[in-house]
Amino acid sequence: MKTEFTIEGNFVDIRQRAIYPARLVVANGKIRSIRRLYASKTRYILPGFIDAHVHIESSMLVPTEFAKTAVLHGTVATVSDPHEIANVLGTEGVWYMIENGRKSPLKFNFGAPSCVPATNFETAGAEVTDEDIAHLLASPEVKYLAEMMNWPGVIFDDPSVQHKLDIARRAGKPIDGHAPGLMGKQATKYISKGITTDHECYMIDEARFKLKHGMKVIIREGSAARNFDTLAPLINKYYDRMMFCSDDKHPDDLIEGHINLLVRRAVARGADVFKVLQMACINPVEHYNLEVGTTQVGDWADLIVVDNLTDFNVIKTYINGDLVAERGRDYIKTEPERIVNNFTIGVKKASDFALPLTKPDVNVIEVLDRQLITKKFEGKINLSNGQAIPSVSDDILKIAVVNRYFDAPVATALIKGYGLKKGAIASSVAHDSHNIIVVGVSDEDMCQAVNAVIESKGGLSATDGNRTEVLPLPIAGLMSDQPTDIVAAKYTELVAMARDLGSTLTSPFMSLSFMALLVIPSLKLSDKGLFDGEKFEFCPIERSES
C-alpha cells in the first residue's frame, strides 16, 4: 500500500447530492482530504458497492476466490450469511468462512446463522445452538444475526426463537429477516420483534407494507430468484430504507456482474442516481455498522472509479487504499485451501428411487422459473405394478432427496416444470440442509446422477444415461477448491447439458437447489418427505379425489 497518493475525478458526494471535480488525497489507507478542482474530469469517483445479503457458498467459490471476481465489478464489501456451510459443519464452517475471508482485502461481514437446522423436518449435518450464537455475536467480526427464517416461531412466540432474538438484541446487533409473502397482522408482529430487514419480498404490495411498518427491504436479484423488476418502482420513494443484494449467485453470473448491474438497471429505469447509490453504497454501512468507507474525509478509502454514471463500468477498485482491481484485472493473491467436509454415505441403487403409490391422484411440486416459491399442482400420474412412472409428455418427473450425512431411505416425490426429456441432474447444494437433490426421468438416471455426486464427496452432476459430467465441490459439498474461471466453465457446461436434456429453466441447478428449501412455500421436498411450506407440515403425495 502506498503511504500517500492522489486520485482525481468527478467526485460523487452521495450525502450532499453533488458532483464536482476533485482531488482525493489518500494516506495510510484513509481519505485525508477532498479538494474541489475547477476543470471537469472524464471519470467519476464514488464509494464501492456492497452486497447487502449474500451466501458466498452459493457461488461455489471460497471467499478469497469470490473476492477476485467481485472487485472487478466494484464490490468492496458484502453482508454474508454463512448459513449454508453452518448446516453442514456448524460453527466450524462459520469460522472457516471468516478465516478464509481474512485473507482477502474484500470486506466480508459475516452473520451468526439463526436457524441451523432450518427446521425439524429435515436432516442437517450440524446444529448451531443458542450458546454458539452468543459466542459468534460476541466477536466484532460477526455483525448481525442472520436471516430469521422461522417466521412461525417468531409470531407464535417459540421460546427458543425468542431467546435467539434476545441474544442479538443484548449484543446490540441487527437481526435479518426472511418472511416471503408475509403481510398483515402476522408481518406486523414479526417486525415488532426487532427484525429489521427482508430480502424475500416478491410482491410490490408486500414490500410496501413492510417498508411502511418500519422494515428495510433488500431488493434481490440472484441467479434463481429475481425480484428487481417487481420492486424497483419503490426506489425513488423508499430509497432511504432499501438496499441491493444477490442472495445466491452462481459463478457464471458473477463473472458477468454483481451489484453494479443493479445500479445500472435502476438508473436506466429512471431512478435518481443519488438515491440508487445510497442504496448500493451507504445504507448497508449504516444499517450493519460496517467498517467500510463512504468517501468521507477520515474514512477508509473503499472506493471505485467508473467511466460514467449510466453504465458504471469500473475502471479501478480500491479497498483500504489498496488498488485491488483495474480494467478487468484483479490484484488479489490466493493460495490453496484446506478441505473441510461432512459426506459419509455409500452409493445408491436404482430401486432406492422407487415411488410406490396406490392411486394416480397426486400432489406435485410445480417449479416456477426465477422464483424460490413453488405451486402445488394437483395432477395424475401413471402407475405400473404400484409404482409411479414419470410422464415426460405431461412434464411430471420424479424428484428425490438423499440424506448425505448417513445412509437412510431416499425421499421421492413428483415435480412439474423442469422440462427434462431424458436423463437427470443432481446437486449437493440443496438449501438448507444440503442433502443431495435430484430430478430425472427414470430411477436409473437419477441413481447415476446421485452416485456421481457421492463419489465426488459433493458437487453438481448431469447425465443422459450414458455420459455423466460432474463439477466436484469438495469443500463442504458446497464449494470448489479451484479458480473462478475453471468453476464457471464447468458449471456452464453442466447448465448447457441440462438444457440439452430438455430443461427450460433459466438456471436449472440453482432452481433445483431451492426445491428442498422448506421455509419457502408452497411444496418442497426434504430427506424426510414432501412438505407444505404454507401449513408448515408434511404433505401426502397421494391426494383425495375432488
Q: Which three cell numbers stand for residue 133?
A: 450464537
What's the pTM?
0.93
**What letter would DSSP give residue 154?**
H
Neighbours of 24 (CB within 10 A): 21
CB proximity list for 324: less than 8 A, separation 6 or greater: 71, 105, 106, 317, 318, 330, 331, 332
pLDDT in tens, the chain (546 residues): 457 999 999 999 999 999 999 999 999 999 999 999 998 889 999 999 999 999 999 999 999 999 999 999 999 999 999 999 999 999 999 999 999 999 999 999 999 999 999 888 999 999 999 999 999 999 999 999 999 988 889 999 999 999 999 999 999 999 999 999 999 999 999 999 999 999 999 999 999 999 999 999 999 998 878 899 999 999 999 999 999 999 999 899 999 999 999 999 999 999 999 999 999 999 999 999 999 999 999 999 999 999 999 999 999 999 999 999 999 999 998 887 789 999 999 999 999 999 999 999 999 999 999 888 899 999 999 999 999 999 999 999 999 999 999 999 999 999 999 999 999 999 999 998 999 999 999 999 999 999 999 999 999 999 999 999 999 999 999 999 999 999 999 999 999 999 999 999 988 998 999 999 998 889 999 999 999 988 889 999 998 765
CB of 88 closer than 8 Å to CB of 473: no
Where exactly does CATH 3.20.20.140 map onto the chain? 28-33+45-330
Fold of 28-33+45-330: TIM Barrel (3.20.20)
Distance CA 420, CA 437 (A): 15
CB of 136 closer than 8 Å to CB of 98: no
First to last CA, the chain: 71
